[in-house]
Amino acid sequence: MLRWGLVSTANINDAVLGTTNPPADRFVAVGSRDLVRAQAYAQDKGIPRAHGSYEDLFADPDVDAVYVSLPNGMHTEWAIKALEAGKHVLCEKPFDRDPAAVARAFDVAEARGLVLAEAFMWRHHPQVDRAVQLLADGAIGNVRLLKASFSFVLDDPANVRLFRGLDGGSLMDVGCYCVSGLRTLAGAEPMRVQAERVDGGDGVDVRLVATLRFPGDVVATLDCGFDIAPRAELEAIGDGGTLKLLDPWHGTDPVIELRRAGGPEDRKFEGEPERIRVDAPDKYLLELEDFEAAVRGERPPRIGRDDAVAQATTIAALYRAADHAASTPESIP
Ligand SMILES: NC(=O)c1ccc[n+]([C@@H]2O[C@H](COP(=O)([O-])OP(=O)(O)OC[C@H]3O[C@@H](n4cnc5c(N)ncnc54)[C@H](OP(=O)(O)O)[C@@H]3O)[C@@H](O)[C@H]2O)c1
């Protein structure tokens, strides 16, 4: 098994620590900005070694790979430093809002023969491949419309997600799942986007709504927010039916709901929708196993360069579109 180091004491670490019992079988070290915090964390989580800086973690010769769970705005800088120190890197989502920065990180990884991947756990869940296969098999006819939502109420003003300097914002935090979901179901990259944002916190988008145009006249809607009730939705609508993932992002209760319309003369829905139940394995474990297989040279990681750069390209376009809508509004008198 790969020997992993944790870059920070972030809350999300618990998800990956939970993949191994005891955690020390996979996670051998943690680095924090603060040595005392690193030591307390290591003791609490059962991690053998604690380092008082991320650089010290990267200098640890008994660490093969690191998991970057820093706030969004620090991902690329520290992923590159880890790569330069010779570590494979699994970087939390969203990698970066600047596609050129993501590409730079992959340049460093490729130059050193190291594995770099974006950690989008939802994509490792088997319900995703199942849904994509159903669409490819024509379960809902020709796909015409896609819809994705992810929101919750964030009341903690100190949360990293509300700070502009750390690249917070609802699109970066939860909307990035919607971007990934739409791109995955479309099986293509969007050609153009429009967006509206509502700001809060320290000047970040606390709500963002967008439309995306994909090749083949497929259109999509996306909405995300920190100030609306919790929702998690991903749906494809075709000329022959609808396909909805009822728990798309977490996949703890994964069901794909399929409604097929009648034949050409009668396009109505009849009866109850078909509910396809899918296994719910630990998606974080699948993510780590995917990465470890890539390090062993068995296959490229599921979310490698092209995917991560395309994801950041769409996020950047959505922010540009939202800024454009605010600066040159099509006002109604
Ligand atoms: N895939 C998923 O399911 C999932 C879920 C949640 C979050 N995430 C992603 O994981 C990342 C971390 O999210 P989180 O909610 O776990 O963050 P968090 O609990 O706030 O932790 C962030 C960590 O970064 C370090 N840090 C370094 N500089 C910092 C600064 N200026 N301000 C705050 N913290 C700083 C801190 O660790 P030290 O002080 O120990 O260095 C801190 O514990 C984000 O990119 C987020 O999008 C992914």
Looking at 93, 120, 147, the residue that finishes a domain is 120
| pLDDT (mean) for 193-221 | 97
Q: What global pTM score does this model have?
A: 0.97
Q: Which atom of ligand 1 is nearest to the CA of 173?
A: 47
Give domain status of residue 36, yes or no. Answer: yes
Which amino acid is it at 315? I
Model confidence band, residue 265 (pLDDT cutoffs 50, 70, 90): low
d(CA 156, CA 194): 29
Does the C-beta of 12 come closer than 6 Å to ligand 1?
Answer: yes
Does the C-beta of 9 come closer than 6 Å to ligand 1?
Answer: yes
What pLDDT, on the 0 to 100 scale, is given for residue 333?
A: 81
Give the other-Cβ count within 10 Å of 13's Cβ: 21
Looking at 77, 104, 120, the residue that finishes a domain is 120
pLDDT, tens digit, 9 for 90 and up, residues 82-127: 999 999 999 999 999 999 999 999 999 999 999 999 999 999 999 9
Looking at 82, 99, 120, the residue that finishes a domain is 120
Work out the mean pLDDT of the chain and round it to a whole number. 96
Provide DSSP, 104-148: HHHHHHHHHT--EEEE-GGGGSHHHHHHHHHHHTTTTSSEEEEEE
The residue contributing the CA closest to ligand 1 atom 34 is 71
Share of the chain above pLDDT 90, in %: 93
What pLDDT, on the 0 to 100 scale, is given for residue 267?
A: 66
Place of tokens 């996020």: 315
Does the C-beta of 118 come closer than 6 Å to ligand 1?
Answer: no
132 shares its domain with 32: no
Place of tokens 């090749």: 215
110 shares its domain with 133: no
103 shares its domain with 18: yes
Q: Which positions ≥6 away from 158 have C-beta within 8 Å?
A: none
Give the other-Cβ count within 10 Å of 12's Cβ: 16
CB neighbour class for 328 (10 Å; exposed up to 12, middle 13-18, buried from 19): exposed
CATH number at residue 178: 3.30.360.10
CATH number at residue 64: 3.40.50.720
Give domain status of residue 47, yes or no. Answer: yes
Does the C-beta of 33 come closer than 6 Å to ligand 1?
Answer: yes
108 shares its domain with 139: no
Model confidence band, residue 150 (pLDDT cutoffs 50, 70, 90): very high
> In total, how many domains does the chain have?
2
More confident residue, 176 or 263: 176
Model confidence band, residue 266 (pLDDT cutoffs 50, 70, 90): low
pLDDT, tens digit, 9 for 90 and up, residues 267-318: 677 778 999 999 999 999 999 999 999 999 999 999 999 999 999 999 999 9
Let me know: does 127 contact 251? Beta carbons within 8 Å.
yes
What pLDDT, on the 0 to 100 scale, is given for residue 67?
A: 98
What pLDDT, on the 0 to 100 scale, is given for residue 1?
A: 79
- Structural domain harbouring 200: 126-280
Give domain status of residue 17, yes or no. Answer: yes
Does the C-beta of 154 come closer than 6 Å to ligand 1?
Answer: no
d(CA 316, CA 319): 5
d(CA 49, CA 27): 9
User: Strand, coil or helix: what is 2?
Assistant: coil
218 shares its domain with 166: yes
179 shares its domain with 241: yes
Nearest to 224 by CA among 283, 266, 182: 182
- Best of 7, 8, 76, 150 to mutate for ligand 1, by most ligand atoms within 8 A of CB? 8
User: Strand, coil or helix: what is 128?
Assistant: helix
pLDDT, tens digit, 9 for 90 and up, residues 20-69: 999 999 999 999 999 999 999 999 999 999 999 999 999 999 999 999 99
- Whether the pLDDT of residue 329 is over 90: the answer is no
Evaluated on CA atoms 206, 229, 316, 309, the torsion sign reads positive
18 shares its domain with 112: yes
Per the residue annotation, which of 87, 93, 244, 283 is the catalytic one?
93
153 shares its domain with 197: yes
Model confidence band, residue 263 (pLDDT cutoffs 50, 70, 90): low
Does the C-beta of 32 come closer than 6 Å to ligand 1?
Answer: yes
24 shares its domain with 86: yes
The residue contributing the CA closest to ligand 1 atom 17 is 10
The residue contributing the CA closest to ligand 1 atom 21 is 10
The residue contributing the CA closest to ligand 1 atom 42 is 10
Give domain status of residue 290, yes or no. Answer: no
46 shares its domain with 104: yes
130 shares its domain with 93: no
Active site residue 93: yes
- Whether the pLDDT of residue 261 is over 90: the answer is no
